[in-house]
Amino acid sequence: MKQILFSGMIGLILSLLGTPALIKVLAKHGYGQYIRDDGPKAHHSKKGTPTMGGIAFILATLIAYFATKAITGESPTASGLLVLFLTAGLGLVGFLDDYIKVVKRRSLGLRAKAKLAGQSIVGLGFAILAMQFPDDRGLNPASQSLSFVRDFKWAIGPVLFVIFAYFMIAAMSNGVNLTDGLDGLATGASVMVFGAYTFIGIWEHTQSCAYAITATANCYDIRDPLDLAVVASALMGSCFGFLWWNTSPAKIFMGDTGSLALGGALAGLAICSRTELLLALLGGLYVIITLSVIIQVGSFRMTGKRVFKMAPLQHHFELKGWTEVLIVVRFWIIQGLCVAVGLGLFYAGWVTG
C-alpha cells in the first residue's frame, strides 16, 4: 500500500509546484486560451489565460508512477503501463489540437479527420495491446467479456471488444472535454472518480482470487489491481495539485491536452479493472453533460428548437444567471453523489457475489 501513498503524494507535490512554472512558460510565449464569440459573455475575460495545462498533471502522473516504482523497488505492470500509454497518447493528440489553436491561431485546432485518426491510433492500439501480456494465471490486462462490477459470464470476442473499448475511450475523452468549460469543473470531478478507482483497485487486490484459499464467487480475477490503484492515486494527486491553480479564477486551463488524457485514463482504468459499464455511473456528470449536447443537437435538427439556452449543460445555467462558482460546486455535488452510488453498487456486487 506504500506505493499508493507515494504515487499520490508525489503526483500532488509535482503538480502543485510544477503548474505555476508551466504558467510562466506558457504566458511568456503567449499561449493563451481562445474564447468563442458566441459563448457566455462572462468568458470573454478569460481570453489569453494560459492553456495546455494538462501537460502539468500528465507529466506529474508519469513521474509519480515511475518514481514510486524506483523508491519501492517494485516493477511496472502491463496494466499500469497500458493505462499510462492511453493517458499520455490521448494527451499528445490533445496537445497538438491545443498547439494549433493557440500557436497557429486556427480556432478549430486539428482538422476533424486528423484528430479522429490520432484518437483512433491510440485507442485501438490500447484495446489490441490490452488483450496481450498474460500473467502466470493467464490473465490479460483486459477481458473480452463486458463488465459492470465484474465480468459477465459471456465473452464478445476480440473484434467486438476492440470496437467497444474504442467507443468507451472516445466517449469518455469527449465527455471530459465537454465538461471542461468552467474553472475547475472537470478537474474536481476527475479527482473524485480517480479516488473511486484507487479504492476499487485496493479492494480488488485484497479480494483477489490469487490470494483466495478456496474458490469463492466473491474474489476478483484482475491482472494487476494494485498497480491500477497506484496509477489512479497518481492521477488523483496530480489533478488535486492542478486544481489549486485551475479553480476559479483559473490561472491556467487544462485544454484538450488535459481533457482527452483524463478521459482516456478513466476509460483505461475501467477496462482493466473490469468495471466498464460502472464507469457510466462513476463518471455520471460527464454522461449528463454529454447527453445535454446530444439532446440539444438532436432537438434542433428534428424540430428547429433548442431545449437548453446553450449546450453543454453548464453554459445553460450560466445564461440563466447562475454564477460560475455556484454551478461548479453544485455539479461537483452531483458528481460526488454519482461516485457514492457507484461505489455502493460495487460493494453490493461483492457482498452478493
Q: What are the pLDDT digits (tens) for 260-279?
A: 999 999 999 999 999 999 99
Tally of structural domains, the chain: 1
In the prediction, which pLDDT does 107 show? Answer: 59
177 known ligand binder: yes
pLDDT per residue over 278-311, tens digit each? 999 999 999 999 999 999 999 999 998 999 999 9
For residue 91, pLDDT over 60 is answered with yes
In angstroms, the CA 346 to CA 270 distance is 12
Which residue range(s) make up the domain with 64?
A: 1-352
pLDDT in tens, 17-43: 999 999 999 988 777 666 555 555 555
Q: Does residue 231 register a pLDDT over 70?
A: yes
Per-residue pLDDT, 209: 86
Cβ(262)–Cβ(190) below 8 Å = yes
pTM score above 0.75: yes
Q: Please indicate if the annotation marks 98 as binding a ligand.
A: no
- 109 or 324, higher pLDDT: 324
Q: Which of 346, 87, 123, 37 is nearest to 235 (CA)?
A: 87
Residue 4 pLDDT: 97
Percent of the chain with pLDDT over 90: 80
Q: How far is CA 162 from CA 131, 144, 320, in A?
A: 9, 9, 42
* Rounded mean pLDDT, 160-179: 96
pLDDT-based confidence at residue 106 (cuts at 50, 70, 90)? low
Among 224, 134, 226, 116, which residue's Cα sits nearest to residue 173?
116
Which cell numbers hold the place of 295?
Answer: 439532446
Average pLDDT over residues 308-323: 94
**Longest CA–CA separation in the chain, Å:** 64
How does residue 141 score in pLDDT terms, banded at 50, 70 and 90?
very high
Share the mean pLDDT of the chain: 92
Cα–Cα distance list, 221 to 3, 38, 81, 143, 209 (Å): 21, 50, 19, 10, 6
Question: How much is the pLDDT for 114?
Answer: 87
Q: pLDDT band at residue 113, thresholds of 50, 70 and 90?
A: confident
Report the sign of the C-alpha dihedral through residues 82, 229, 187, 15, in that order: negative
Q: Predicted confidence band at 110 (pLDDT cuts at 50, 70, 90)?
A: confident
